Amino acid sequence: MSTFAKIKDTVLSSFKRTLKVEQFGVKTALESSPFGIDSSPIKDMTAIYSNTSNDAESVILGYINNNQIAEQGETRLFSLDSSGVLKAFIHLKKDGVIELNGDSNFMVKYNELESALNTLATNINTENTKISVAIGALGGSYVQTPISINITPAKNTTIKTN
């Protein structure tokens, strides 16, 4: 039989999360979750508590989510602080957009940005050569300093895109 239970505390020990819950009194239960997702509920979340075939073991099957905004076909991962305030999220939208903590700015593609900036530097250097020649022809002097752009320190190698 499955019932609702309130989360009171979580304990992570030996790579297993044990939850202290209030379900007709204080109890503990192991947590069940989808493969590859490691998350810890905040206090007073409502959990789905279930007994197993072994009376000495029980399990939390999931939680009632009071923060659902994903539309049909979408997935959203998010974190909350201890007060339940949204702190971070990744939203996989049904139109192919991925939002990381918001939607008011844009990420850039590093390779394309590097290429565009190097083309800009080449074009500026070409014009500076023309300026240097023209000033020299008029009897003046202009020492050209080539412009180079290195954005390698800005490259994030842990987040990749197509």
pLDDT in tens, 16-73: 788 888 888 888 888 888 888 888 899 988 989 888 888 778 888 889 888 888 999 8
Say if 131 falls within a structural domain.
Answer: yes
| Mean of the per-residue pLDDT values of the chain | 89
Q: Do 125 and 89 fall into the same domain?
A: no
Q: Which residues neighbour 44 within 8 Å (Cβ) at sequence distance 6 or greater?
A: 6, 7, 8
What's the pLDDT score for residue 53? 84
Strands, sheet with 98-100, edge to edge from the N-terminal-most edge strand: 75-80, 86-92, 98-100
Domain of 24 in residue numbering reads as 2-63
Same domain, 6 and 59: yes
Residue 161 counted as domain residue: no
Average pLDDT, integer, range 89-116: 93
Q: Residues 78, 59: one domain?
A: no
> Does one domain contain both 43 and 17?
yes
12 and 47 in a single domain? The answer is yes
Give the integer Cα–Cα distance in Å for 30 and 41.
13
Could you count the other beta carbons within 10 Å of the beta carbon of residue 76? 16
Q: How many folded domains does the chain comprise?
A: 3
Question: Is residue 125 a part of any domain in this protein?
Answer: yes
Same domain, 83 and 132: no
pLDDT band at 8 (very low <50, low <70, confident <90, very high): confident
Give me the pLDDT at residue 19, please.
81
Answer whether residue 101 is part of any domain. Answer: yes
- pTM for this structure? 0.71
Query: At a CB cut-off of 8 Å and minimum separation 6, what does 62 contact?
Result: 32, 47, 48
Over residues 67-93, the pLDDT tens digits come to 888 999 899 999 999 999 999 999 999
Give the model's confidence band at 12: pLDDT under 50 very low, under 70 low, under 90 confident, else very high: confident
Kindly state whether residue 79 falls inside one of the protein's structural domains: yes
In the DSSP assignment, the letter for residue 71 is P
User: 85 and 46, same structural domain?
Assistant: no
Q: Say how far apart CA 128 and CA 31 lie, in whole Å.
A: 66
Averaged over 118-140, what is the pLDDT?
95
Integer Cα distance of 79 and 42 in angstroms: 10
